[in-house]
Amino acid sequence: MDSTSTESAITEWINILGESQVIAAKPADFGASTIGIKRSIPAVLRPESQEQVAAILQVAQRWQVPVYPVSTGNNWGYGSANPVEDGCAILDLSRLNRITGFDSEMGVVTVEPGVTQAALRDFLDQQEGDFLVPVTGAGPTCSILGNALERGYGITPITDHFAAVTKIEAILPDGSHYRTPLSELGGSEVDGLFKWGLGPYMDGLFSQGNFGVVVNMTIALAPAPETVTAFFFSTKDDAKLEALVPTVRAVLRALSGSVVAINLLNNQRMLSMMAPFPEDEAIEGVLPAKVIEDLAKRHNVPAWSGVGAIYASKEVARAARRTLRRLLGPVTDRLIFINQRKVETVRKVSRMLPGNLATRVRGMTDTLAGALEIMHGSPNDVALALAYWRSGALPAHGQPKNPARDGCGLIWFAPLVPIRGKDVRRYTNMIEKICPQYGVNPLITLTTVNERCFDSTVPLLFDRSDAEATARANNCYRALLEAGKKEGFLPYRLNINAMDILNGGSAFSMIANKLKTAVDPNFILAPGRYVPRVNTAPESTITPKSDQL
- Tens of pLDDT, residue by residue over 71-105, are 999 999 999 999 999 999 999 999 999 999 999 99
Least confident of 236-245, 320-329, 395-404: 395-404
| Per-residue confidence band for 549, with pLDDT thresholds at 50, 70 and 90 | very low
Domain boundaries, the chain: 3-92, 99-223, 225-338+381-495, 501-547
For the beta sheet containing 44-45, the strands, ordered from the edge strand earlier in sequence to the opposite edge, are 22-23, 44-45, 89-92, 67-70
Mean pLDDT of 278-288: 95
Ramachandran class of 95: left when φ > 0, alpha when ψ lies in -120 to 50, beta otherwise: alpha
Closest CA to 441 of 287, 318, 549, 305: 287
Alpha helices in 185-240 (DSSP H): 188-191
pLDDT at 131: 97
The H or E element containing residue 55 is helix 50-63
Cα gap 314→326, rounded to integer Å: 19
**Strands 453-463 vs 416-418: parallel, antiparallel or unpaired:** antiparallel
Task: Look at residues 224, 229, 262 and name the one whose alpha carbon lies nearest to residue 342.
Answer: 229
Query: Percent of the chain having pLDDT more than 90?
Result: 84
Q: Is residue 321's pLDDT more than 50?
A: yes
- The strands making up 165-171's β-sheet, listed across from edge to edge, are 99-103, 108-111, 213-220, 165-171, 177-178
CA atoms of 272 and 243, how far apart (whole Å): 25
Under the banding of pLDDT at 50, 70 and 90, the label for residue 341 is confident
Q: Which phi and psi (to 5°) does residue 409 adopt?
A: -105, 115
Backbone angles phi, psi at 89, to 5 degrees: -75, 140
Judge whether 489 and 454 are in contact, CB under 8 Å. Answer: no
> Are 3-92 and 225-338+381-495 equal in CATH topology?
no
Q: Are 71 and 113 in contact (CB under 8 A)?
A: yes
**What own/partner pairs with CB < 8 Å and gap ≥ 24 does 114-120 have?**
114/71, 114/72, 114/143, 115/143, 115/144, 115/145, 116/72, 116/140, 116/141, 116/142, 116/143, 116/144, 116/379, 117/141, 117/142, 117/144, 117/379, 118/379, 120/144
User: How are the residues of the chain apportioned to helix, strand and coil, as percentages rounded to the nearest 5?
Assistant: 40, 20, 40
Query: Could you tell me which residues come within 8 angstroms of residue 75 by beta carbon, excluding any fewer than 6 positions away?
Result: 81, 146, 150
| Residue from 385, 349, 389 nearest 367 by CA | 385
pLDDT at 27 (0 to 100): 59
Q: Are the CB atoms for 490 and 29 separated by under 8 Å?
A: no
- Give residue 5's identity as a one-letter amino acid code: S
Is the model's pLDDT at 152 over the cut of 90? yes
Indicate the fold that domain 225-338+381-495 takes in CATH: Vanillyl-alcohol Oxidase; Chain A, domain 3 (3.40.462)
Measured CA distances, 79 to 66, 498, 507 (Å): 17, 10, 27
Chain length of the chain: 549
Sign of CA dihedral 319, 137, 126, 163: negative
Q: How far apart are CA 173 and CA 506, in angstroms?
A: 25
Would you say residue 488 has pLDDT above 90? yes
| pLDDT greater than 90 at residue 479 | yes
| Cα(306)–Cα(89) distance, integer angstroms | 43
Closest alpha carbon to 144 in 211, 176, 191, 96 = 96
Mean pLDDT of the chain: 92
CATH for 99-223 (1.10.1330.10, 2.40.30.10, 3.40.47.10, 3.30.465.10) = 3.30.465.10
- On whether the CB atoms of residues 336 and 249 are closer than 8 A, the answer is no
Name the 3-class secondary structure at 218.
strand
Kindly indicate the confidence band of residue 26, based on its pLDDT and cuts at 50, 70 and 90: low
Confidence check: pLDDT of 542 > 80: no
395 with 402: CB under 8 angstroms?
A: yes
The pLDDT of residue 345: 76
Cα separation of 137 and 11, whole Å?
A: 39
> Number of helices (H) and strands (E), helices first, in the chain?
15, 19
Q: Is 3-92 assigned to CATH 3.40.50.11890?
A: no
Is 90 exceeded by the pLDDT of residue 352?
no
Mean pLDDT value of segment 229-233:
96
pLDDT at residue 361 in the model: 61
Q: Strands 227-235 and 262-266: what pairing?
A: unpaired
The whole-angstrom separation of Cα 483 and Cα 434 is 9
Per residue in 41-82, pLDDT (tens digit) is 999 999 999 999 999 999 999 999 999 999 999 999 999 999
Query: According to the 3-state scheme, what is the secondary structure of 483-548?
Result: HHHHHCCCECCCCCCCHHHHCCCCHHHHHHHHHHHHHCCCCCECCCCCCCCCCCCCHHHCCCHHHC
Confidence of residue 357 (pLDDT cuts 50, 70, 90): low
d(CA 284, CA 279): 10
Tell me the backbone φ, ψ of residue 369, rounded to 5 degrees.
-65, -40
Cα angle for residues 82, 85, 86 (degrees, 5° grid): 85
